[in-house]
Amino acid sequence: MSNVSKAETREPLIRLSRRASITPRKAWTIRIVAVLLGLLVCGIAAFLLIEKLQSNPGKIGEFYYTFIKGSFSSSRRIWKFLKNVSILLCISLALTPAFRMRFWNIGGEGQTLMGVLSAIAVAFYLGGTVPEGVLLLLMLLAALLVGAIWGVIPALFRAKWGTNETLFTLMMNYVATFIVSYFLIIWVPSGSSSLGKLKYGKLPMIVNEQLLTVIVVLLLSVGLYIYLTYTKHGYEISVVGESVRTAQYVGINEKKVIIRTMILSGALCGLAGYLIAAGADQTVTTNSVGGQGFTGIMVAWLGKFNPLAMILTAALIQLLSQGASQISQDFGVNNALPNVIVGIVLFFIIGSEFFINYEIHFRGHSKAKGGIK
């Protein structure tokens, strides 16, 4: 009660209001400052965690230089960087249509893993018996199909009974992991449970191993941008995301949109799985996706669910984690360091969104600035 009367008599010290608009330049300045601050804090954290830095503080310059070195010091590293960015970007792109309609698909990890598994399964059973081109096509179809199935299961329940999709898709990740370990035990009877590289089902080289993957994903991000921005489907997704009631009012069948979009989302995760299976690893482990399904969520969110902006955010996250793993090698720290670095920078970017979305008015200043009442 006392709080209420106080608020009436005196304006609070800090007051918030949602910004009506912000110039892209200002928004990007805020984001860049956030990343720089994050990197500064990373430096402090590194100083606390790395003994080699404590004994020789002058090495801090080398610490930051290693971020660049980790990804760009040789052409092999640059290509590895580009390939990793592409796969991370592919998963993020896959999740984007779902996020745009506020369907929190955090099952990208499982959907991608099922894509890897089914592509490898086709190569395992049919490899050598059919021509390589046919095999690659069958692998692609299997990955797309199984990814889509894995994505559409939670969507069906959400559409029919409103089952919470966040928790459902999260659980599906683990089911996928154990299905993979089940098949690994069946395929590798020795019990070592690691399947070696398969001989068949490898994407053809264009200049080098990575270029094809990079091109496919770049085309995908442009395609998805067009799909989401200029087509009827994309429009329906946005309306369902903004307000289900509006969608019902204008005659959009939101159940159909949810199911259709999750088939797309799951299938694109399957595509990412295919690129991992046929384009890079040629094998499957329970760790084939390696948490990228979760990182992809953050990449998509950081890019404001804009497929073109996500190219940048995927590159940023990959740069940080590849640089940090180089640091953990060079400075002799535990290989979990990249997680710490990426985590810290993410916290700063997440926090910076607040200053983009909201305006802070201090007491007394709001009138001088012509604040809104």
Partner 1 sequence: MNIWVDFLITSLAFGAVFMYGSTGEILTEKAGHLNLGIPGIMCMGGAGGCLVLNLVGKSSLPGFLIVILGILGALIFSMLCGLLYSFLAVTLRANQNVTGLAMTTFGVGLSKVIINKLDSNIYLIGPKLLYRWPFAERRDALQYLGVLFFLAVIIAILSSWVLFRTKVGLHLRAVGENPATADAVGINVSRYKYVATCVGSGIAGLGGFYYIIDYMASQEAYLSVEALGWLSIALVIFALWRPHLTIVGSTVFGILFSCASYLANVKWLNITMATTPLLKMLPYVVTILVLIISSIRNKKENQPPTSLGLSYFREER
Binding partner 1 by CB under 8 A: which of 231, 354, 362, 363? 354
The backbone region for 141, taken as left when phi is positive above 0, alpha when psi lies in -120 to 50, beta otherwise, is alpha
92 to 151, contacts with partner 1 by CB under 8 A? Answer: 104, 106
Binding partner 1 by CB under 8 A: which of 61, 162, 196, 251? 162
With H, G, I as helix, E, B as strand and everything else as coil, classify residue 127. Answer: strand
Contacting range for partner 1; rule: CB under 8 A; set: 86-94, 119-127, 185-193, 307-315: 185-193
In angstroms, rounded to a whole number, what is the distance separating the alpha carbons of residues 300 and 129?
Answer: 40
Binding partner 1 by CB under 8 A: which of 16, 36, 78, 222? 16
CB of 254 to partner 1, least distance (A): 17
User: Is residue 13 near partner 1 by the rule CB under 8 A?
Assistant: no
Binding partner 1 by CB under 8 A: which of 256, 351, 362, 369? 351
Amino acid of residue 11: E
Q: 185 vs 215, which CB is nearer to partner 1?
A: 185
User: Is residue 298 near partner 1 by the rule CB under 8 A?
Assistant: yes
User: Is residue 322 near partner 1 by the rule CB under 8 A?
Assistant: no
In angstroms, rounded to a whole number, what is the distance separating the alpha carbons of residues 88 and 311?
Answer: 10
In angstroms, rounded to a whole number, what is the distance separating the alpha carbons of residues 353 and 362?
Answer: 19
Place of tokens 């969520």: 297
CB of 121 to partner 1, least distance (A): 15
Sequence-separated (6 or more) residues with CB below 8 Å from residue 10: none
CB of 350 to partner 1, least distance (A): 5
Amino acid of residue 44: I
**Contact by Cβ (8 Å): 119, 278:** yes
Q: 187 vs 227, which CB is nearer to partner 1?
A: 187
CB of 188 to partner 1, least distance (A): 10
In angstroms, rounded to a whole number, what is the distance separating the alpha carbons of residues 10 and 73?
Answer: 59
